[in-house]
Amino acid sequence: MSNLEVAKLFRDVAAAFTIKNEYKYKFQILAYQKAADSIEHSSTELKTLYEQGKLEKIPGIGPTIEKRLIELFKTGKVKHFEQAFEGISPAVFPLLDIPSFGPKKANKLVTHFKLNNPKTIIEDVRKLATEGKIAKLEGFGEKSQADILRAIEEYKTGTTKTNRMTLPYAFSLAQEVIAYLKKHKDISKAETLGSLRRMNSTIGDVDIAVTTKHPESVLDYFVAFPAKERIIERGPTTASLLIGGGKHVDLLVLPPQQFGSLLQHFTGSKHHNVALREYSLKKHMSLSERGIKLLDKKGSPLVEFDTEEKFYKYLGMDWIPPEIRENQGEIEAAIKHQLPDLIELKDIKGDLHIHTNYSWNSSHDYGSASMEDMIKRAKELKYEYIGLSDHNPSISNQTKSEIYSVLSRRKEKIEQLKKSNKNIRVINMLELDILTLGGVAIDDKGLELVDAVIVSIHSSFSTNKDDMTKRVLKGLSHPKTKILAHPTGRLLNSRAGYSLDWEKLFDFCVKNNKALEINAWPERLDLTDALVKQAKEAGVKFVINTDSHAVSHMDNMFYGVSVARRGWAEKKDILNTLPAKSFVEWIST
DNA sequence: GCCGTTTTCGGCCCGACTGTTTTCAGTCG
């Protein structure tokens, strides 16, 4: 059973408790939802933790839920859950996947119309709505019947929440909306919030905050946004639009004196906010997007904040960078004034994963720009060094001596470039395939013709964890291999990546002075933020690379730096912040 | 059912919006 399946089961359990008695089970419901959230966000499979007897390492899993999970993995079911589901039609649960359906609404429809088939339930409800039967039910009406119909249509056509957006897509959508908003004369400030401000690897909704003295007219203007599909909601301080492709854009409007708490609240994450509020409650302060209520002094006015810095300071803590607001220890660190000094884009002094159009019967794709053009861009970016790391020449249709000869010709060209570019260090590198049977695609004699290599997996993704780990460690063992590129192999929204024994890999990297790449390509963002944090704690060093195949790709460095920041990485953790001399020393020894 | 920088008992985030009501229930983030 995968983490997502367990999380869904827990949410169904919470829904079942909600239907049975929301008040009696209030805190069990909360506990199962919290556990589901945390299981979804876990970077380790629960099954693995179960096998290692480490289930209690997941926050939100205590002794009782641990017992239930052990029963689940042992027998495939949980007695206690079956009791919880007793008397509730299984047809309720598929409905919960449709936005606007919660446990109460779903159960009311299912019981009243005696619907019991989970396979046909969505079609059954759609039919009832079409026939006008739902409007007659108490608590429903014509409007909600129409809403149900539309929600089902949007769900079936995939208009709602299918794929999450990649960062560049979300940024350009946000920029488009902000550019539109800025045309309104009463808007003084507009900023993106939510997961986009936290630089999450994928974005669900785009949240934009605006401060103005004329909220009415701003909201009117916003909901008239030309590219909208429809208005989802519109109140006095917020509005939400559905944009083509099933994306939401939410606007939040508050007066300038409350802008600080507004930013804080809608930047999230939800887990960060809940933890922050629980902490503050113990200090008798109640937090919201409008400010802070002091619970000790009755009738005292709301304390307002125009900046986020003042808001956090009032709570007795340092301002927390948005990227690490995930309730992963940042609140405790902010109280103790021990927040990490996160790496910044300006710290980066070189890019080592650069593909060019150098043509030589390659094993994989070429870049579109010349070595000269990529070097020129690196200089514009004020880099001190650049690694030219084309894919290794194909080994399937060239003899060894042919390979030595092409490598040597490329070396000559790069030596020329080194000489003609005195103010940047050009490093002769390769991105080298780790073969299916371990080992790398080019032998020792060939590797003498390059300064250093990046290794990566480009084949046999389904290899099991133990074999894949052996394969990767063997690939990293050669003295010339310094960096493991895109270590998980994932592609956002399309490929999960392969399995690796991360603890083993981290340990190997620390002992053998190898680095893990943080690949800045927006569909990769690989390592993941969670693994960066774990690796950093194990003492692993990183290199942030763009994996550029065109000049413009070199600007993606920003996304890689964001992943590093989300993983709590500091300048000292990232090797390509080193000055040229020290970096070249590391990579060539 | 979880959890601990005033707690191993006694707490558990907070408000927005919609639709169906005429003061509230449900859902969402």
Question: For strand B, which residues in window 522-551 of chain A come within 7 Å by CB?
Answer: none
Residue with CA nearest C1' of nucleotide B17: A235
Does nucleic acid strand B have an atom less than 7 angstroms from the CB of A143?
Answer: yes
Does nucleic acid strand B have an atom less than 7 angstroms from the CB of A139?
Answer: yes
Question: For strand B, which residues in window 93-112 of chain A come within 7 Å by CB?
Answer: 99-106
Contacts of A269-273 spanning 24+ positions with Cβ under 8 A:
A269/A195, A269/A198, A269/A325, A269/A326, A269/A327, A271/A37, A271/A326, A271/A327, A272/A320, A272/A325, A272/A326, A272/A327, A272/A330, A272/A331
pLDDT along chain A (589 residues), means of 10: 93 96 93 93 88 90 95 96 96 94 96 95 96 94 94 81 83 95 90 96 94 92 94 95 87 93 94 92 91 83 93 94 94 93 98 96 93 98 98 91 95 97 96 90 95 94 91 95 97 88 96 98 96 95 98 98 98 98 94
Q: What is the pLDDT of residue A159?
A: 62
Q: Which nucleotide is nearest to A144 (CA to C1')?
A: B19
Alpha-carbon distance A494 to A162, whole Å?
A: 12
Does nucleic acid strand B have an atom less than 7 angstroms from the CB of A234?
Answer: yes
* Strand B positions closer than 7 A to protein CB: 1-3, 5-7, 11-21, 25-29
Does nucleic acid strand B have an atom less than 7 angstroms from the CB of A89?
Answer: no
| Residue A518, SS3 per DSSP | strand
Q: Which H helix or E strand runs over A189?
A: strand A187-193
- Residue A151: name the closest of A90, A109, A114, A207 by CA: A109
Does nucleic acid strand B have an atom less than 7 angstroms from the CB of A86?
Answer: no
Does nucleic acid strand B have an atom less than 7 angstroms from the CB of A70?
Answer: no
Q: What is the pLDDT of residue A160?
A: 57
Q: Which nucleotide is nearest to A239 (CA to C1')?
A: B17
Q: Which nucleotide is nearest to A105 (CA to C1')?
A: B26
Q: What is the pLDDT of residue A544?
A: 98
Q: What is the pLDDT of residue A342?
A: 98
Does nucleic acid strand B have an atom less than 7 angstroms from the CB of A142?
Answer: yes
Does nucleic acid strand B have an atom less than 7 angstroms from the CB of A141?
Answer: yes
* Angle formed at CA A194 by CA A189 and CA A198, multiple of 5 degrees: 100
Question: For strand B, which residues in window 346-405 of chain A come within 7 Å by CB?
Answer: none
Q: What is the pLDDT of residue A295?
A: 86
CA A272 / C1′ B27 distance in Å? 21
Does nucleic acid strand B have an atom less than 7 angstroms from the CB of A61?
Answer: yes
CA A241 / C1′ B17 distance in Å? 13
Does nucleic acid strand B have an atom less than 7 angstroms from the CB of A236?
Answer: yes
Residue A218 CB: number of other CB atoms within 10 A? Answer: 22
Residue A469 dihedral angles phi and psi, to the nearest 5°: -65, -45
CA A290 / C1′ B8 distance in Å? 35
Q: What is the pLDDT of residue A439?
A: 86
Residue with CA nearest C1' of nucleotide B15: A288
Alpha-carbon distance A325 to A309, whole Å?
A: 14
- Residue A447: name the closest of A408, A486, A402, A394 by CA: A408
Does nucleic acid strand B have an atom less than 7 angstroms from the CB of A286?
Answer: yes
Does nucleic acid strand B have an atom less than 7 angstroms from the CB of A238?
Answer: yes
Question: For strand B, which residues in window 411-450 of chain A come within 7 Å by CB?
Answer: none
